[in-house]
Homo-oligomer: A and B are copies of this chain.
Amino acid sequence: MGTSNWLDDNQQRTWRSWLDLHAQLNARINRQLQAATGLSLSDYAILVELTPEEAEGSLRMFELGERLQWEKSRVSKQVSRMEARNLVVRRHCADDRRGAFVDLTPEGRVAIEAAAPGHVELVRELFFAGLSDEQVRQLGDFAEGVLARLAATD
């Protein structure tokens, strides 16, 4: 238990706007993405994981789960939905017969490449506007600090 048992006004204000910020920003980005490309943020997240060169358009389910920090059931359902829309395909894994790969389809690649510029633009415009490199770094440090504490307390 800390010294004081409450948040001071400053913290209160920051916490409130922080919560608010997340809700608003998320909603806005989701809507933009949905309207412009038909993708949800979750679709986008999966596709982003599958595009880097080292992934070669293919990852195991559990790898997706680890990278995104998603529950395995969430990954499974998300992939099912995306498979139904031809954005990805499941492929059996020879080494481990329980396992499954998720492959990016050509349609999936087209979709992410079409979606990325507008999405990134919006993020830059709303989130990074007017921040100096130094401020961006501080924000990143802060976020990583909290994440570290989250991981530490498990």
Bound together, the chains give a CA A139 to CA B12 distance in angstroms of 12
Instruction: Pick the residue among B69, B123, B133 that contacts A10 (CB under 8 A).
Output: B133
B7 touches A143 (CB 8 A): no
A55 within 8 A of B: no
A23 adjacent to B69 (CB under 8 Å)? yes
B125 touches A14 (CB 8 A): no
Q: Is the CB of B150 within 8 A of A69?
A: no
Contacts of A140 in B (CB 8 A): 10, 13-14, 17-18
- Residues A147 and B14 in contact, CB atoms below 8 Å apart: no
A135 CA to B139 CA, complexed, in Å: 10
Please tell me if A85 contacts chain B, counting CB pairs below 8 Å. Answer: no
State the majority secondary structure of interface residues on A.
helix
Q: Mark A3-46, 1 if CB is under 8 A from B, else 0.
A: 00111001101110110111111101000000000000000000
- A110 interface residue per 8 A CB criterion: no
Q: Which residues of A contact B (CB under 8 A)?
A: 1-2, 5-7, 10-11, 13-15, 17-18, 20-26, 28, 69, 117, 120-121, 123-131, 133, 135-140, 142-147, 149-150, 153
* 8 tightest Cβ-Cβ pairs between the two chains A and B: A14-B140, A17-B143, A21-B143, A24-B150, A17-B144, A14-B136, A22-B22, A18-B143
